[in-house]
Amino acid sequence: MTHFFWPSVGGILIGLSATFLLLLTGRIAGISGIVWGAIKPSDGDRVWRCLFIVGLLAGTWLYHAISGNAYPILENNYVLAISGGLLVGLGVKIGNGCTSGHGVCGIGRMSTRSITSTLIFIAVAIVTVYLLRTLIGIGA
């Protein structure tokens, strides 16, 4: 039960927090947009964005502190991790948002662009996993 229960609770909390942020403030809880707005030089509503990011980090720390689960550790291949992060950042900028923003917030608002983007994300992920595992043998 715990393998299904806690991820479901987490998903419900993410959905509720995105809904409440939209209903109470009119703002969309897309993480890339929030981060970009926090670092953009001319943005006037930086405070709530910074507090949102602090809350994400504090929540992660709190989870690991309470649960006793180990913190994730990158043991090798920093070049691959950094390259992947830069590619994700480029994709986020080109796609006008990240997978979570489109998937959680955009679909919830019935945004055609977000629904289309999420379907493309899923299709590309399936093809990528197939290619890497079956044809190349990485991650098998």
CA distance 89 to 92: 5
10 Å CB burial of residue 46 (0-12, 13-18, 19+) is: middle
Contacts 24+ apart (CB under 8 A), 98-101: 98/30, 98/31, 98/32, 100/30, 100/31, 101/28, 101/29, 101/30, 101/31, 101/32, 101/33
In total, how many domains does the chain have?
A: 1
The per-residue pLDDT for range 5-35, each reduced to its tens digit, is 878 888 899 889 888 988 998 888 888 888 8
Q: Which domain does 124 fall in, by range?
A: 2-136
pLDDT, tens only, 52-91: 899 989 988 898 888 888 887 877 788 888 898 899 888 8
